[in-house]
Amino acid sequence: MDWKQLIHEALKEGKGPLTVTRFGEIIPSSSLWVEVRKWVKVFREYGMSPGDRVSIQVSDVLPYLGSLLASLWDGYQVMVLSPFQNIKMKKEWFPADLSIIEGKIFENEELGFSLGEDPFEESDVRLIFLRGQGYMAYTDEDLNSLINSFKVKKRFSRNKVLSFSDWYRETGIIQDVIPSLMWSDLLLQGSLNWDNDKILAMKKKYHINVVKGFKKPAKENNQLKLF
For the chain, domains (ranges, CATH) are: 3-212 (3.40.50.12780)
Among 179, 78, 187, CA closest to 135: 78
> Using CA atoms, how far apart are residues 85 and 213, in angstroms rounded to an integer?
20
Q: Of all helices (H) and strands (E), which one includes residue 206?
A: helix 196-206
pLDDT at 89: 46
pLDDT at 222: 43
What is the per-residue pLDDT across 173-192, written as a single tens digit (0 to 9) for each? 988 898 888 888 899 999 88
- pLDDT band for position 50 (cuts 50, 70, 90): very high
Percentage, residues of the chain above pLDDT 90: 36
| Phi–psi pair at 223, nearest 5 degrees | -65, 140
pLDDT at 1: 61
> Using CA atoms, how far apart are residues 126 and 128, in angstroms rounded to an integer?
7
Residue 26: what residue type? I
Give the mean pLDDT of 141-166: 78
